[in-house]
Amino acid sequence: MKFFIDTANLDEITEANELGILDGVTTNPSLINKEGIKGEDNIMQRYVDICNIVDGDISAEVVATDFEGMVREGENLAALSPKIVVKIPMIKDGIKAIKYFSSKGIRTNCTLVFSAGQALLAAKAGATYLSPFIGRIDDISWDGIDLIDQIVAIYGNYGFTTEVLAASIRNPLHIVKCAEVGADVVTSPLKAFLALLNHPLTDKGLAKFLADAAKSRPA
Ligand code: G3P
């Protein structure tokens, strides 16, 4: 299972990367905006900065919604680095753009996915990654993990090579449940990754070991 971090914040990306278990980064226009980055040049520079930190796949999203615009933007993004994966929204022209990029050997991440039918279309078009937003599904009282489970089964039935990248992760249990149902990738905020570390018995056990270690090493 690959671990991606879902942020455009360089400090968080560096902190996650230093753990040594980071496989990539996903961004979106809201995450870029959250960092206060303004202007096309600065946005492109941020993608380059991320590529310089992480040795892995870096998703950068187009903002055009027409085929020609997505192709133009996606080609510019892909030219920044071989690490760039072009993120394309799940809309009609997006499917055409994914098919186009797949024929050109440019990797894609189909985003804003909320149903198995959408997942089928993206896989048929040759998407490299598929991003179902599980937290946003949970937010409306449906079950995001059920959708991951369903898509993993469908892709398995037909041998689709599109990787299921569970996005919109809200907590550590989402990550564990994604692993149980066979998601290929999770992209998560740093907080949810770090929360995987926590267990009160680990803290209690370590405190006891350290106390006993001190007793065996009198000053
Ligand atoms: O990158 C897309 C996705 O992870 C969005 O998450 O928290 O805005 O639903 P969220």
Ligand 1 pocket test, candidate residues 6, 113, 175, 187, most atoms within 8 A of CB: 6
Burial annotation 41-80 (CB, 10 A radius, 16+ → b, else e): eebbebbeebbebbebbbbbbbebeebeebbebbeebbeb
pLDDT at 218: 85
Reduced to 3 states (helix: H, G, I; strand: E, B; else coil), residue 132 is strand
Q: What torsion, rounded to 10 degrees, do the Cα atoms 97, 175, 133, 66 define?
A: -20
Q: What is the pTM of this model?
A: 0.96
Low pLDDT (below 50) residues in the chain:
none
Q: How far is CA 186 from CA 171, 205, 211, 216, 217, in A?
A: 11, 30, 37, 43, 44
Q: Is the CB of 124 under 6 A from ligand 1?
A: no
Tokens of 129: 């990654």
Residue whose CA is at the smallest distance from ligand 1 atom 7 = 168
Q: Is the CB of 6 under 6 A from ligand 1?
A: yes
DSSP 8: -
Residue whose CA is at the smallest distance from ligand 1 atom 4 = 168
